[in-house]
Amino acid sequence: MAPAFVRRWRDGPVSAPGRHGGRHTESVRELTEHLRAAGAEVEGPVPAPGAAAAVVELAAAAPHGAVALGAGEHRLEALGVPEALRAAGRELVRPEAADHPARLAAAAVGLTGAELAVAETGSLVLAAGPGRPRLVHLLPDRHVCVVEVSAVRPTLAEALAEIDPRSASAWQFVSGPSRTSDLEMRAVLGVHGPLSLAVLLVG
Amino acid sequence: MSGALVTPGRSVRERTAAAVADPDLQAALRNLDRRLRTGTDLARGRPDLRSSAAALRRRTTAELDAHLTRLTEALEEAGAHVHPAPDAAAAVEAVLAVARRHGVRRVVKSKSMATEEIGLAAALAAAGIEVVETDLGEHAVQVAGERPSHLITPVIHKTVGGVAATFRVRTGAEVPGEAESLTRWVRDRLRPQFAAADLSVTGANFAVAETGTLVVVTNEGNADLGMALAPVQVAVVPVEKVVPRLADLAVLLPLLTRAATGQRCTSYVTLVTGPRRPGDLDGPAELHVVLLDNGRRRLVGTRYEEMLACVRCGACLNACPVFRHVSGHAYDATYSGPMGAVLTPLLSGGRRGAELPWASTLCGACTDACPVAIPLADLLVHLRADLRGGDPVAPRPRPARPRSLGAAAWARTWAHPAWYRATTAVAARLGAVVRILGRWSGRDLPPPAAVRFRDWWRRRSCGGGGTAR
C-alpha cells in the first residue's frame, strides 16, 4: 500500500466527507443494502436537479392524503421539493401542524431530510427542533426521507463524533419502518409508526 | 404484583412441571428457535464488540456512583427533573407525585422491565389512573391480565392464535387471527390512546453521563409516539444503565440490538436530552427521570458486581435449555431465565427467588450467549452457596462449622495420587454398590466406568492400539 502522504495526494484530504472516493462509495452501497434488509425502499443516488421529481414519485406510492413537511425542511426547499409536490397536485402540511396531531395523522406521507446517515447500522439521523417536529415521520403511513450522499458516514462511531445530543431535545436514528416481532418472533412491518419507509439518496 | 419482584405461588418444581405439560405453551415456545443463536453468533462474529463492551461495562460499574453524580448533573443541566429512588416504593411514589401534580388521568407506557420491577402500572391503576401498555406484546399481556414472559418478547408464551383469542375474549371485538392484520388491529386500537395521554412513561436502555442523554430503543415506534405526544414524560432508569460517554454507544447499541433481536439496529433509537425547547413543535414540556437503585448499588464491590453489566438483551433466555422448555412464568419473577435467576435473589437480598439458582443445569449456554460476558453459570453456583445464609451480599463471617468430616477425609484421600488410584480401582469393581447408594440418596450418581481411564490409557500406550472396551 502507498504511504499516507502519497494516498492523500492521490485521493484528496481524508477528512473531507464525500471525497473519500472508494470508501465513501462503499458506505453508500452498504447503507442501501442495510436499509433494504430492514424493509425500506432505497432510490438513487440521483443528482440534485432530479431529486424533486424522484420525491414526487416516492410520495405517489401513498396518493390519498397530504404530504407533511418535517425535519430538514430547508434542505427540501433548496432541492425544490415543495414546489414540485404542489405542481403534482399534492396538498402540503406545514411542520407547525404538529400542534394538531390529527392533521399529521391524516397525512399520507411524512417527508424529512436526514442530518446524517450511518452505513454500518443502516440508520437515518433526524434532529428535532424548530420546523422539525418528531411526529412528522411517525404519524403518517409512509415516511419519505431525503439523504445527501455527503451526509453518509461509514460507522456509528463517526456519526456520534459529529453529534452533540445537547443541541436538540431529540435525535432520532431511524433504521426501517415501524416493526414488531412480538408475535412468534416473526417480523411484521407497521405497528405504531409508518407502514413503509422510502429513502432517496441525492448527490 | 404491586412492588413485589415475585408473587407467591407454587414451587419452581411444580411450575416447571405444569409448563412442560402445557401443549399450547410448548407450541409457542418453539418460536424461540428463531433467536436461539443471537448471543453466540454475536460472540463469535463480533468478538471485538463483545470484549470492548464487557470491559466498558465493568469499568463503568466499578465507579458507578461517580458516573451517577455526573449523570444527575447533566440531566439537570438539560432541564430534566431527577428523582433518586432508593427502592421500589420511592420510585412509585415519585411517579405518582408527578401524576398528581399534573392531574394525570391517562398514561401511555412503553415497555420497560424497570417499571415491571417496581409494579408501576398496578400502582397507577390503584390511584385511579388509566394505564395503557403500547408495546404490542406487552399490550397483549396487559389485556390478558398476565405478566411478561420474556425480556424482549413479552408474549412469547402464546402463539398468534392465542394472542388473538385473548383479545377476542377480553374485548368482545372481532379480532383477526393472523399476524399482519392483528398488528393493524392493535395499531388502530392504540392510536387514539396516544393522542389522549396526559403522561408518557418510558424506560431507557442507556443514560449518557457526559451529556444527560436518555437512549430509548424500540422497533415499534411506540415510545417515540408517547414521548412526542404526551405533555409530560417520566423515564424510570435503573442506575446501571449509565454509560460514561456518548461515544460508548458506538459499541453498546449494535451490541444490544444484535444480541436482542439479531438486528444491526432497531427501527427507532432516540437520544433524548431534556424536555421540549423553545421553538420545538412537539415533545414533553416536562421530563422527569427516576433513578432506580432498588438493591443495585450494594452489589458494587461484591462478587456479583458483574451482574450490573447486564444490558437486558434476553440472549441468555433464548439460549437457556431450561427457559426454552418452561418460559418466563415458571420463574414467577419479573426477570426470568439465567439473568433473572441471578438478579432476583440479588435485588431482594435473598428474600425472593432463592430457589431460582437451582433451576439451572449449569450447562453454561447463558455464559456463552451473554454479549457482555457475564459468567452467569458461575454466579448461579456462587448463589447456591451464598443463599444458604440468607442475603447473598451481606458481609458475614466465614461459616463457623467446618466441612463435614466425611468431605474432609475424602478431600485428603484424593489429594494423593496413590490413594486416588487405590480407591477408584475399588470403585470400578463396586459399580453396583455405587448405583444403589445413588438411588438411596436420591441423586443421579453416575456408576463408575467399568474400565478406568488410566487403565485404558496404559493398555493403549503399552499394548499398542487396544480399544476402550
Q: pLDDT per residue over B151-167, tens digit each?
A: 999 999 999 999 999 99
B51 touches chain A (CB under 8 A): no
Question: Would you state the pLDDT for residue B5?
Answer: 43
- For residue A117, what are the β-bridge partners? A124, A152
B235 touches chain A (CB under 8 A): no
Least confident stretch, A141-145, A147-151, B435-439, B457-461: B435-439
B283 touches chain A (CB under 8 A): yes
Interchain contact, A160 vs B246, CB within 8 Å:
yes
- Best of A169, A171, A189, A199 to mutate (most B CBs within 10 Å, chain B): A169
Apex CA B441: angle with CA B440 and CA B442, to 5°? 90
Q: pLDDT per residue over B111-120, tens digit each?
A: 999 999 999 9
pLDDT at B133 over 50: yes
Tell which residue, B200, B7, B42, B243, has the closest CA to residue B112.
Answer: B200
Size of interface A-B (CB pairs under 8 A): 203
ipTM, two decimals, is 0.90
- Best of A73, A191, A195, A199 to mutate (most B CBs within 10 Å, chain B): A191
Nearest CA in chain A to B161: A183
Residues of B in contact with A170 (CB under 8 A): 227-228, 270-273, 283
Interchain contact, A165 vs B179, CB within 8 Å:
no
What is the average pLDDT value for chain B, to the nearest integer? 91
B266 touches chain A (CB under 8 A): yes
B21 class by beta-carbon count within 10 Å (0-12 exposed, 13-18 middle, 19+ buried): exposed
> Which residues does B12 contact at the CB level (< 8 Å), separation at least 6?
B330, B331, B332, B355, B356, B358, B359
Q: pLDDT per residue over A133-182, tens digit each?
A: 999 999 999 999 999 999 999 999 999 999 999 999 999 999 999 999 99
B245 touches chain A (CB under 8 A): no
Nearest CA in chain A to B181: A188
Q: Cite the DSSP H helix spans in B197-281.
A: 222-229, 249-261
Alpha-carbon distance of B419 to B427, in angstroms, equals 12
Q: What are the structural domains of chain B?
A: 36-297 (3.40.50.10420), 405-463 (no CATH)
pTM for this prediction: 0.87
Topology annotation, domain A17-202: Rossmann fold (3.40.50)
- For residue A41, what are the β-bridge partners? A198
Alpha-carbon distance of B152 to B335, in angstroms, equals 11
* H or E element in which residue A28 lies: helix A22-37
Window B:366-405, CB contacts with A under 8 Å: none
Supply the DSSP string of B400-434, one letter for each residue.
SSPPPHHHHHHHHHHTSHHHHHHHHHHHHHTHHHH
